[in-house]
Structure 1
Amino acid sequence: MTGTPRRSIAARIGVTLLNLIAPGLGLLRVAGLRAAAGYLAAPTLLLLALAGFGWIAPTPGFAAFATVVLATMAALIALMIVAMVRTWRASRQRAPVKGWSRWYGIVAASIVAGVAANAAAEACHALYKPYYIPSEAMLPTLADKETFLTDMRGGRHPARGDIVLFDMPELHTVYIKRVVALPGDRVALVGGVPVINGRKARQVPVGGRTYRETLPGEAGSHAVLDLGPSDLDDMAERVVPPGQLFVLGDNRDRSADSRVPRSEFGTGWVPVRDVVGVPLFTYWNTDLSRIGRKLTP
């Protein structure tokens, strides 16, 4: 009488490593669908729980966001480790291969688990989403290649001084600029300084070419760069049309914004309906001192 066939060490390692693709795939191979189902569903359920929590929780600061991200990563790593340990133990002996345990079952399960997890991640991104800025147009507030977290629910009622992200359908991309004038405002620029409804913005030098600017009616203030005289420093007064915004980059001499029409690769007027969110804070930069900098009042 012969015993139950055993897998080689190499085969056991290979089966166990299937869990690196998706937690539970290795168990699916050696123990079947029932043993693997919970592990395969866990990442999706965890992300959906985060999305649900995000709807009811206050807008996070950097510390809270970092804590949630680290806890989520730790939970996923722990899930993977447990699945690998269980797979290793269950893979010692060969069991009869059933439908879900065959190669096509494993491929199907990995696709389903991947699609479900991606959909759950998109649910999270409907609340908060990372972006990076690929230019210097928002210096000194945002540096080139800086990554920041965006509240995708914000920006529906922008105020003067707010930073907003908005769709540019013509370019199939998202831009980030600062709101300077609202629908119905009269806006002009004189020597690079915004003038809103006849009132000039206050600019105080803070060192180098950096100024602290306060727009008329702005709740706080923000930093801007003035690199010297440029063709965009002066603009005759315009009236912002209904449902539109006038936006500027903080690096005033290096920004294609509402001063430049879209036909010339600027933003022109920005429809309020195209605003997709507001940035919260920087969460990655090679200059570690910038990480965690708050970007909203």
Structure 2
Amino acid sequence: MDNVKTIIYAGLIAIGIRTFLFEPFNIPSASMVPTLLVGDYLFVSKYSYGYSQYSMPLSFPSFSGRILGHAPRQGDIVVFRQPGHESIDFIKRVIALPGQHVQVKGGQLYIDGKEVARQEAGHCPDEEGNYESQSVRYLETLPDGVKHYICKVVDPAVTNSMTYQEANDTPDFLVPAGTFFAMGDNRDNSADSRFQPSQGGVGFVPMENLVGRAEFLFFSVDADAPWWQVWRWPGEIRWDRLFDSLR
């Protein structure tokens, strides 16, 4: 009976931590390269923006709005549920908040009609961290001073595609109240607020859909090695990315 009680208490503590403090997530896609790579594992703080039904395990109980709610800051990396498909988690960077205008013209980001500054900073890695020549890395500075790296494709096979044109020449979006505009750092390989949910994107994201803010990486592994090849695991760990802050 003592062992059963110990297991129950440990389970309740783990559920409490996961619900109210931190939840682990892994990165399955390349939409946030170069900041996040496929095979990265990170902790998300659940308390940063308050709590909604999506903060709870299995989104239960169901209720509307946020408790102790706080708006994200421009530049935050956030995990949220895809509008219209709330069982799916997305991770993107907050680019604009309610009342702000966002537009991409010729691949250049504009916020409130002003061009967002960026400086070329070499080549971008691919989704697994290997450097390639098809993408250029830029250091982008958002209006509030947050600096972060983005990737832009220079491969003609990509830049001539219809999807590329739609992502790099957008309408002027006005972010509605109670929502935010999110984009991936891998600007030409991200289904984000530039696209509607019917197109696989997210459109304007309701604040209620926020799960939490990405805080730091706690593990990272190259996805090339099959899981059963245990002897390759030490060589596949990206040691330089362990416990890397995302703030």
Residues 165 and 275, structure 1, Cα contact 8 Å, conserved in 2: yes
Matches within 5 A, 1:157-176: 157-168=71-82, 170-176=85-91
Residues 248 and 258, structure 1, Cα contact 8 Å, conserved in 2: yes
| Residue 215 (structure 1) aligns with | 142
Give the counterpart letter for 2:72 in structure 1: P
Distance 2:12 2:81 in 1: 22
Unaligned runs of 5+ in 1: 1-32, 41-108
| Residue 23 (structure 2) aligns with | 129
Distance 2:179 2:109 in 1: 17
Give the counterpart letter for 2:25 in structure 1: Y
1:119 is displaced (CA, Å) by 2.0
User: Deviations for 1:86-140, whole angstroms, at most 9, x for unmatched residues?
Assistant: xxxxxxxxxxxxxxxxxxxxxxx3xx55444222201011201111111000000
Distance 1:185 1:205 in 2: 26
Question: The residue matched to 1:140 in structure 2 has which SS?
Answer: coil
| Residue 12 (structure 1) aligns with | none
Distance 1:161 1:193 in 2: 17
Matches within 5 A, 1:70-109: 109=4
| Residue 116 (structure 2) aligns with | 201
Question: Which of 1 and 2 has greater Rg?
Answer: 1
| Residue 240 (structure 2) aligns with | 289
Match of 2:195 among 231, 253, 260: 260
Distance 2:117 2:138 in 1: 9
| Residue 247 (structure 1) aligns with | 182
Residues 182 and 246, structure 1, Cα contact 8 Å, conserved in 2: yes
Residues 187 and 238, structure 1, Cα contact 8 Å, conserved in 2: yes
Give the counterpart letter for 1:122 in structure 2: I
User: Deviations for 1:168-209, whole angstroms, at most 9, x for unmatched residues?
Assistant: 261512111001111011110012222111111111011021
Does the alignment pair 1:119 with 2:33?
no
Residues 153 and 276, structure 1, Cα contact 8 Å, conserved in 2: no
1:219 is displaced (CA, Å) by 3.0
Structure 1 stretches of 4+ moved >4 Å: none
TM-score by length of 2: 0.72
For the aligned residues, what is the CA RMSD? 1.5
User: Deviations for 1:244-278, whole angstroms, at most 9, x for unmatched residues?
Assistant: 11100000011000011001111111011211111
1:166 is displaced (CA, Å) by 0.8
Residues 181 and 240, structure 1, Cα contact 8 Å, conserved in 2: yes
User: Deviations for 1:49-69, whole angstroms, at most 9, x for unmatched residues?
Assistant: xxxxxxxxxxxxxxxxxxxxx
Q: Which moved more, 1:222-231 or 1:196-205?
A: 222-231
| Residue 184 (structure 1) aligns with | 99
Does the alignment pair 1:149 with 2:60?
no
Distance 1:171 1:127 in 2: 21
User: Deviations for 1:208-251, whole angstroms, at most 9, x for unmatched residues?
Assistant: 211000112x2320000001332211112121111111100000
